[in-house]
Amino acid sequence: MILLDIEGTTTPIGFVSGTLFPYARTHLPHYLIEQGGTPECRRAMAKLREEYARDRERGEPVPDWTPLAYLEWLMDRDRKSPALKELQGRVWEEGYRNGTLVGEVFEDVPRALARWRDAGVAVGIFSSGSVRAQQWLFRRSTAGDLTPFLSWHFDTAVGAKQEETSYARIAEDVNVAPSEVLFVSDVAAELDAARAAGMQTAMSVRPGNPPQPERGHPVVTSFDQLVSALPPAR
């Protein structure tokens, strides 16, 4: 199995930071007004209020409570808030549906996904963005609908991306040994956690990615270098 990160791995960091995040910030107020009474939005709001209470208890410098003020505070800090990620995913879904957003992927990604499918290699995604956000990025991508190539989607419901236990849970969920999984990411700390769980790893080095510390992970600059489920020789 191959497990892929999104930002900096399948998708340019600039698309996430320069397109998706500003779109969510601009459209969240309208979404909260229009959809605030729906069961989905109300559940997300309840989770958001719980997160806010925990931040207050920890002494975090949160603003006075309003949903939008707290959401903006979370976005300013790039917090991996489950409630924020859920709401962002729903806002982005609207953008993908109406054609305003098109998920950007590197040109080698669709070629590699097709190659791995033909070789019988299952591919999954593990991203801090919600499963909904992941699915829509690949469904309405610059290369067309790539979701048929993806067998699994995981978000931080399984745990943080820098925690070893998250990768152990993923392997358990898909019923494979961790050693049979190759995780590809642009963040060394995530790769360290996956390796500690027993997974194989490869460091994605793409244009615009910030430098990472050398931790002994094989480096790939294109998925064309991943000719099988195995990373390059160490």
pLDDT tens, residue order, the chain (234 aa)? 999 999 999 999 999 999 999 999 999 999 999 998 999 999 999 999 999 999 999 999 999 999 999 999 999 999 999 999 999 999 999 999 999 999 999 999 999 999 999 999 999 999 999 999 999 999 999 999 999 999 999 999 999 999 999 999 999 999 999 999 999 999 999 999 999 999 999 999 999 999 999 999 999 999 999 975 454 433
Give the closest residue to 149 by CA, choosing from 113, 111, 103: 113
Q: What is the predicted pLDDT for the residue at 228?
A: 53
Which backbone phi and psi does 7 adopt, to 5 degrees? -65, 120
In the chain, helix, strand, coil percent, each to 5? 50, 10, 40
Q: What is the predicted pLDDT for the residue at 234?
A: 35
Domains in the chain, ordered, with CATH? 2-12+102-225 (3.40.50.1000), 16-97 (1.10.720.60)
Q: What is the predicted pLDDT for the residue at 136?
A: 98
Instruction: For the full predicted model, state whether its pTM sits above 0.75.
Output: yes
Q: Which residues pair with 184 in a beta bridge?
A: 4, 202
Which backbone phi and psi does 108 adopt, to 5 degrees? -85, -10
Work out the number of other CB atoms within 10 angstroms of the CB of residue 163.
17
Tokens of residue 15, six digits = 């698309």
Give the closest residue to 126 by CA, choosing from 103, 108, 151: 151
- DSSP, residue by residue, 61-89: -PPSS-HHHHHHHHHHTT---HHHHHHHH
Helix (H) / strand (E) element for 230: namely none
Q: What is the pLDDT of residues 35-85, one digit of tens each?
A: 989 999 999 999 999 999 999 999 999 999 999 999 999 999 999 999 999
Q: Which residues pair with 202 in a beta bridge?
A: 184
Contacts of 86 (CB under 8 A, 6+ apart): 44, 47, 130, 132
**Which residue do the tokens 């917090």 mark?**
79
Which backbone phi and psi does 98 adopt, to 5 degrees? -90, 0
Give the closest residue to 113 by CA, choosing from 151, 170, 155, 153: 151
Give the count of alpha carbons within 13 A of 84, CB side only: 20
Q: What is the predicted pLDDT for the residue at 36?
A: 87
Distance, CA of 89 to CA of 74 (rounded, Å):
15
Distance, CA of 103 to CA of 138 (rounded, Å):
6
Which backbone phi and psi does 103 adopt, to 5 degrees? -70, 125
Contacts of 134 (CB under 8 A, 6+ apart): 6, 125, 127, 153, 155
